[in-house]
Amino acid sequence: MMPGTPRPAALIMLLGLMTGGTLPADDSALDRPEVMQVVSLAQWERVLEAKQPGIIVADLWASWCVSCIERFPKMVDLADRFSQRNVTFLTLNLDDPQDASGIEWSNGFLAGLGGTFGHYRLDENLTVAFEALDLMSLPVVLIHDGSGKERHRLTNDNPNQQFTEADIEAALEALLAGAEAP
């Protein structure tokens, strides 16, 4: 987003509320400490390594990604359902480090939704992040097996094949059963 360009905050807040999220009634989110821990690309890799040998689900998102915001409550539900099965859920926010309003909104959104998993924010510009993580669009869900190998990359790159929480759940069940998901 260009500096000085108004953020479609009303749309994003409405979507958050429609999908079960709650937002502060005032500007209290601006007074909160960051919910997301800031990491570099190298630190993100170390975060993933530290979570092994369990299965890791990494949800890559940004405040400007409407489908990310719509899906987020479902990720919180999945994290709760799989929490006792050696599955760790993490989020990686890709808002531009210079986009203070997007970062503030994202922190408030996460604080309002809850969830017991780790939230991280990449301290790289969007172009560098997309290139380094081999991304074409958001949202993206990466699922790593217990050895740290990326086994599933669920994306919305193909408009005719959008992934759902059922796809995430099927991939997790297959990994937990020791089989490869279809």
What does the alpha-carbon distance between residue 42 and residue 122 come to, in Å, rounded to a whole number? 10
What does the alpha-carbon distance between residue 70 and residue 11 come to, in Å, rounded to a whole number? 11
Burial class (CB in 10 A: 0-12, 13-18, 19+), 128: exposed
Of 2 and 127, the one with more pLDDT: 127
pLDDT of residue 23 exceeding 70, the answer is no
Q: Average pLDDT in the 35-47 region? A: 94
Task: Band the pLDDT of 179: cuts 50, 70, 90.
Answer: low
Task: Band the pLDDT of 13: cuts 50, 70, 90.
Answer: very low
pLDDT tens by residue, 136-169: 999 999 999 989 999 999 998 888 888 999 999 9
pLDDT tens by residue, 64-106: 999 999 999 999 999 999 988 989 999 999 999 999 999 999 9
Domains defined along the chain, listed by start: 34-177 (3.40.30.10)
pLDDT given at position 138? 94
pLDDT given at position 43? 96
**Average pLDDT over the chain, rounded to an integer:** 82
pLDDT given at position 61? 96
